[in-house]
Structures are given as structure tokens and as C-alpha cells.
Structure 1
């Protein structure tokens, strides 16, 4: 999967297009020091993304914006158990 195009939208948001889902616009929001997938529009009749696709998209966007290190070190990725 490749990041075809991205642009800043509102405050703390980025919209992006990917080659595997060209009809769908994905919206990412900033939380802390990284971006996560918030919503998508379009592509109702095409192939639907799976969780592994979402993860790949988040990694590509964070890499492009220079926040990949923060994304990889987030609490949920570290596998911490909250008791």
C-alpha cells in the first residue's frame, strides 16, 4: 500500500488517499504526538479495508509526518496490561 496524497484539513486533522482504496478519503486526527484513523468517506461499492489495512495506513501517515516513533511507542502498541 502507498500513500498517494495527503493534506492538512482542520486543526489537528489530515486527509489522505491510498492506492489500494483510491475512491475512499481517510481522515486522521492527532492524539498526543501521533495520528490515528478517525473516519472515512466514499468507496461504498469497493473493497472494504480490514484492521491490518488501517494499521498500515496509520504507519504510512505517521511516517510521512515524522511522528512514526511516537506512533510505535504508544501505550496500546507496547502491550501494557492495565490492572
Structure 2
């Protein structure tokens, strides 16, 4: 999962654009010491985003931000990178 672009917003939000969804913005917010997806501004030109895609996006973003250790130790972990 490749991050094409990211930008910071108010209240700790970060907007990501991923390679497979170049027209959709993924909004992530901090919780404790890692980031999770709050919502996706999906565009019809992009493929549908599945639950597995969301988890891969979270892994990629937290890895880039240096929060993967905290993300890995969360209660709801279902995916092994």
C-alpha cells in the first residue's frame, strides 16, 4: 500500500491519498498513540474500499508516522503485517 500524498489538518487529522485510490481522500484521526481511519471521501472513479483495504491503509499510515508499535498493540488487532 503506497501513500501518494498526505497533509495535516486541524485537531490532529491527517488526509492521505493512496496509490490505488488516487481520487479518494482518507481522513485519519489520532486515538491514543496511533491513527485510525475516521472516514473515506470516496470518489466513483476509484474502486470500492474494502475492510481489508482500510486495515492496510492504517498499517501504511502508522508505519510512515512511526506509530506502528502502538497500532500493533491495540485491542482490535486482526491483521498481521
**TM-score scaled to structure 2, two decimals?**
0.89
**1:69 matched to which residue of 2?**
69
**Unmatched tracts of structure 2, length 5 or more:** none
**2:4 matched to which residue of 1?**
4
| Count of aligned residue pairs for this structure pair | 78
Matched, 1:57 2:57: yes
Matched, 1:35 2:35: yes
- Closer, same or farther in 2 for the Cα pair 1:42/1:76, shift >3 Å? closer
Runs of 4+ in 1 over 6 A off after TM superposition: none
Q: RMSD over aligned Cα, in angstroms?
A: 1.3
Q: Which has the larger radius of gyration?
A: 1
**1:17 matched to which residue of 2?**
17
How much does 1:50 deviate? 0.5
Please say which of residues 19-28 and 1-10 is displaced more in the overlay: 1-10
**1:81 matched to which residue of 2?**
none
How much does 1:46 deviate? 2.7
